[in-house]
Amino acid sequence: MNDPAVASPAAPPSSEVADLELVKRCQRGDARSFDLLVTRYRGKVYGMCYHLVQNDQDAWDLAQEAFIKAWKALPSFKGDSSFYTWLYRIAHNTSYDWLRKKRIQSDGEFNDEIGRPVAAGAEAVPKGDFAPDEALKNRELGARIHEAIAQLSPDHRTVILLREVEGHSYEEIAQATNSSLGTVMSRLFYARKKLQELLKDTYENA
């Protein structure tokens, strides 16, 4: 496959083109179709990397590395899963490799610091009767939830985000994380229980 930076035959820049069709064009050497896939999924890939590594620059670097790996591996993509599930697995493994190396460098401990919380409701449109004090309360609650999620291990953080934030099915999560269905359910159970413990005081004082 040619390098994506090299000019190739033009592909219609339509966001309506299905992932599978874009993948087929990429496999024929059309780098512009890969650009469309990058544009379509870079936000989600970055978000997943960020929630795992808790650092903006590292997350962007890992997302970029994941897309480069995906481009190189596209000839072997057979469509057994969706392109996004396949891409997510690459990004997930890339982030985990980075975390493992960091763990080794820190004598076997994950550096699991709490990153700056994402503003709660940043993409939501408030209702017309939404009171300022209620908005402030919800922002504070959202920040505490993000902080609690950041305290989970990478394994548990991944499944809770895929299930509760992105709304994936158990089967999709199993595919994306290369885990068994039982492992996914077990991790979700533990993650939810841990979040309840971490947020107990928050909800009792709400």
Q: 152-167 pLDDT, tens per residue?
A: 888 899 898 888 888 8
Angle at which helix 181-198 crosses helix 132-150, to 10 degrees, equals 130
Cα–Cα distance, 24 to 125 (Å, whole number) = 38
Whole-model pTM? 0.59
Identity of residue 38: V
Residue range(s) occupied by CATH 1.10.10.10 in the chain = 132-204
Cα dihedral 147, 48, 63, 57 in deg (nearest 10):
-10
Q: Tell me the pLDDT tens digit for each residue of 3-16.
A: 444 333 344 444 45
Distance, CA of 74 to CA of 87 (rounded, Å): 10
Range(s) within the chain of domains with CATH label 1.10.1740.10: 19-105
- CA-nearest of 147, 165, 27, 157 to 92 is 157
pLDDT in tens, 25-70: 999 988 889 989 999 999 999 988 988 888 888 999 999 999 999 9
CATH 1.10.1740.10 fits 19-105, yes or no: yes
Nearest in space to 146 (alpha carbons), one of 116, 183, 113: 116
| Predicted confidence band of residue 119 (pLDDT cuts 50, 70, 90) | very low
Contact 112, 124 (CB under 8 A): no
Q: Tell me, what's the pLDDT at 106?
A: 58
pLDDT band of 126, cuts 50, 70, 90? very low
What's the pLDDT tens digit per position in 163-198?
A: 888 888 888 888 888 888 888 888 888 888 888 888
Topology of domain 132-204 in CATH is Arc Repressor Mutant, subunit A (1.10.10)
DSSP designation for 206: -
pLDDT value at residue 1: 56
Q: Which pLDDT score, from 0 to 100, does residue 66 have?
A: 93
**Distance from C-alpha of 148 to C-alpha of 56, rounded to nearest angstrom:** 18
> Is there a contact between 22 and 37 (Cβ–Cβ < 8 Å)?
yes
- Cβ neighbours around 51 below 10 Å, total: 23
For residue 89, which of 2, 113, 97 has the smallest C-alpha distance? 97
